[in-house]
Amino acid sequence: MFKFIITKILDLQSKQAPATGIGLFRLFYGLVTLQEIFFLLYFNHLIFDPIPYIDVEFPMIPFFLCVWGIIASFIIIGYRYQFAVISNYIFWIVFVNFTTMQRDFDGGFDSFMTGAGFFLLFMPGDRAFSIDSLRYKLSTPFTHYNTYPKPTVSSLAYYLPVLICLGFLYFDSAVHKLFAEHWRNGLGSWLPSTQPYYVSAIDMSFLLNNELLQKTIGYTVLVFQFTFLFFFSNRRLRCVYLFVGLGLHLGITLSLNIYPFGMGMLIFYTLLVPFSWWRAVGKFLSAKQPSLTVFFDRQCPLCNRTVLTLNHFDIFNCIDFKSAQEYAPQYPALAAIS
């Protein structure tokens, strides 16, 4: 068994996959973190003060939340990625464990985001949709963008976070659910949606009053969480777990007053999308033929950097950049350029 696990890890480590999912995971993680920071900043007196607006716990908290917001913005755009994810992880640790968030918050969402932030420390999240990848290209401006291979990452960077952050969490949750009578009777998804603490602002009564639907959802959740850890990596079942998981967590986001937790779980499903889908989406979105051809001076450093920058943000490949020195003779209008 141990030998099989080691062999599987080495196999996944050597197998390359598109970096698209990792880049989107980083981007959405940053967005969820940023919305949480906005929430903490807006309600900071209610959350952190022993007596709101009267007995101020620590007057510098809004300042540090603003700094954290800047760090989260860096994560979103992929700027100075390693510095940003390390700083973000420290902020999560400090705020969750050394402020009143530890006493007044449930902790599920905060612990989950802290764990996800830990994995980002080791994930190559700057390979796609990042400013850092552009900065790397700009460091060698005379290297044409076509010479760079499409960014790839190890498949292990996809599977390991899902296995630990989702798989173990689901299995632990499913075991605990078996000791709850309402879950054993199929009403596990119905009960929280009817409680004042969790009730959503959206009227879900037409769904909550459908007993067959609620029991179907309840038992589906149990089966899903018990089996996810063992079968999510199966190629034939991966899409099933992807869509069921998306549906369940989208339901949490809309039907319960813990939408950040639902969104935090949803971002992990970018890692569960089959690799071939990312390739197919990229091929579908890319222009078959460039709609614009731009000629530039190959010997001009500023021109080369401009080309690299524009191409970096041209995600649909609508613009083709060609060296005037090399291609001008092929175009009558530019034949005079040598």
Instruction: Give the model confidence (pLDDT) of 319-332 as tens digits.
Output: 988 888 888 777 77
Q: State the average pLDDT over residues 245-271.
A: 90
Question: For the chain, what is the total number of helices (H) and then of strands (E)?
Answer: 19, 4
Residues in Cβ contact with 199 at an 8 Å cutoff, skipping those fewer than 6 apart: 193, 256, 257
Band (pLDDT 50/70/90 cuts) for residue 216 is: very high
Cα radius of gyration (the chain): 24
Which pairing describes strands 152-154 and 292-296: parallel, antiparallel, or unpaired? unpaired
What pairing do the DSSP bridges indicate for beta strands 152-154 and 16-18? antiparallel
* Residue 168 DSSP symbol: I
DSSP of 305-334: HHHHHHHHH-TT--EEEEEHHHHGGGSGGG
Average pLDDT in the chain: 88
Residue 292 DSSP one-character state: E
Q: Of 175, 201, 204, nearest to 189 (Cα)?
A: 204
Q: What percent of the chain has pLDDT over 90?
A: 47
Query: Minimal CA–CA distance to 26: which of 276, 242, 233, 268?
Result: 268
**Residue 336 — pLDDT band, cuts 50, 70, 90?**
low
Res 193: pLDDT? 83
Please give the Cα distance from 268 to 165 (Å, whole number). 8
Would you say residue 150 has pLDDT above 60?
yes
2, pLDDT greater than 80: no
Whether 103 has a pLDDT exceeding 70, the answer reads no
The C-alpha atoms of residue 11 and residue 296 are separated, in whole angstroms, by 44
Helix axes 211-231, 169-177, angle to 10 degrees: 140
Quote the pLDDT of residue 337: 59
The closest alpha carbon to 164, from 122, 217, 103, belongs to 122
- Supply the pTM of this predicted model: 0.91
Mean pLDDT in residue range 10-29: 90
Q: What are phi and psi of 44, to 5 degrees?
A: -60, -35
On whether the CB atoms of residues 28 and 74 are closer than 8 A, the answer is no
Q: To which residue do tokens 């001009």 refer?
A: 300
pLDDT at 4 over 90: no
CB 97 within 8 A of CB 135: no
Give the whole-angstrom CA distance, residue 43 versus residue 57: 13
Q: pLDDT of 38-97, one tens digit each?
A: 999 998 888 888 788 887 778 889 999 999 999 999 999 999 999 999 999 999 999 888
pLDDT reported for residue 90: 96
What value does the mean pLDDT take over residues 92-115?
Answer: 79
pLDDT band of residue 227 (cuts 50, 70, 90) is very high
